Structure 1
Amino acid sequence: MMFLTLADVIGRMFDNPIVGTVEVTELIMGMMIYLGVGYTTIHRGHIRVDILITRFSPRVQATLDTITFFIAFVFMALVCWRLFLQAASRIENNDITQIWEIPVWPVAYVMAIASILMVTSLGLQLALAARATFAAPAGGPSGQ
Structure 2
Amino acid sequence: MLALARTIADRLVSLSAFLGAVALAVISLTVIVDVVGRLFGAPLYGSRDIVQMAAVFVVFGGMAYCERTGGHITVDILEPVFSARVNRALNILGSLIGAVVFALIAWQIWEASKLSVLLKMSTNILFLPRAPFQYAIAAMSALASLYLVLKALAGLLERSE
Question: TM class by shorter-chain length?
Answer: 0.7 to 0.9
Is the Cα–Cα contact under 8 Å of residues 122 and 129 in structure 2 kept in the other structure? Answer: yes
Unaligned runs of 5+ in 1: 138-144
Q: Of 135, 147, 158, which residue of structure 2 is paired with 1:121?
A: 147
TM-fit CA distance, 1:55: 4.9
Root-mean-square deviation over aligned CA pairs: 1.9
Match of 2:160 among 124, 136, 142: 136
Structure showing greater relative contact order (alpha-carbon pairs closer than 8 Å, 6 or more residues apart): 1
**1:9 matched to which residue of 2?**
35
The residue identity in structure 1 corresponding to 2:28 is M
Deviation of 1:51 (Å): 4.9
Measured after TM superposition, the shift of residue 61 of structure 1 is: 1.0
Alpha-carbon distance in 2 for matches of 1:42, 1:89: 32
Instruction: Name which one, 1 or 2, has greater alpha-carbon Rg.
Output: 1
The alpha-carbon deviation at position 123 of structure 1 amounts to 0.7
SS of 1:40's equivalent in the other structure is helix
1:45-56 equivalences under 5 Å are 45-56=71-82
Mapped to 1, the partners of 2:45 and 2:30 lie a distance apart of 11
Structure 2 gaps of 5+ residues are: 1-26
Matched, 1:75 2:101: yes
C-alpha distance after superposition, 1:87-113 (max 9, x if no partner):
111111111111111111111111111
Deviation string, structure 1 residues 78-134 (Cα, Å, up to 9, x no partner): 1111011111111111111111111111111111111111010011112223345xx
Give the superposition deviation at 1:40.
1.9
Q: Counting helix residues as a fraction of each chain, which structure ranks higher?
A: 2
Give deviations 1:9-38, integer Å, cap 9, x for gaps.
222233321121011100000122111112
* Equivalent pairs, count: 135
Question: Quick one: distance in 2 between partners of 1:131 and 1:50?
Answer: 22
